[in-house]
Amino acid sequence: MKAGSRTLRLSNLDKPLYPDGTTKGEIIAYYSRIAPILLPHLRDRPVTFVRFPNGVHGQKFFQKNADASAPEWLPTVELRGGGSRRGADADEIVRYPLIHELAGLVWAANLAALELHVPQWTVTRSARNSPDRLVFDLDPGPDTTIVHCCRVAERLYDVLAADGLLPVATTSGSKGLQVYAGIETTSSQAPSNYAKTIAVAFERDTPREVTATMAKARREGKVFIDWSQNNPAKTTIAPYSLRGRDEPTVATPVTWDEVRSCRRPEQLTFTADEVLERMPEIGDLFAQVEQDKAPLPD
Other C-beta atoms within 10 Å of 221: how many? 13
Q: Running DSSP on this structure, what letter comes out for residue 79?
A: E
Bridge-partner residues for 123, per DSSP? 128
Boundaries of domain holding 177 = 133-295
The reported pLDDT for the residue numbered 81 is 72
The CA-based diameter of the chain, rounded to the nearest angstrom, is: 56
The reported pLDDT for the residue numbered 90 is 62
CATH code of the domain in which 162 resides: 3.30.70.3300
Whether residues 247 and 104 share a domain: the answer is no
Q: Which residues contact 195 (CB under 8 A, 6 or more apart)?
A: 134, 135, 136, 225, 227, 230
Q: End of a domain among 94, 128, 162? A: 128
272-282 and 24-42 helices, crossing angle to 10°: 40
The reported pLDDT for the residue numbered 82 is 58
The reported pLDDT for the residue numbered 88 is 38
Q: End of a domain among 79, 99, 128? A: 128
Quick one: the chain helix, strand, coil %, rounded to 5?
Answer: 35, 25, 45
pTM above 0.85, yes or no: yes
Could you give the number of structural domains in the chain?
A: 2
Whether residues 112 and 66 share a domain: the answer is yes
Residue-wise pLDDT tens digits, 126-162? 899 999 999 999 999 999 999 999 999 999 999 999 9
The reported pLDDT for the residue numbered 87 is 44
Ordered mean pLDDT values, 10 residues apiece, the chain (298 residues): 94 97 98 98 98 97 92 95 53 92 97 98 94 98 97 98 98 97 97 98 97 86 97 97 97 98 98 97 97 94
Q: End of a domain among 85, 110, 128? A: 128
The reported pLDDT for the residue numbered 227 is 97
The reported pLDDT for the residue numbered 219 is 87
The reported pLDDT for the residue numbered 284 is 98
The reported pLDDT for the residue numbered 126 is 87
Residue-wise pLDDT tens digits, 122-132? 999 889 999 99
Distance CA 176, CA 32 (A): 26
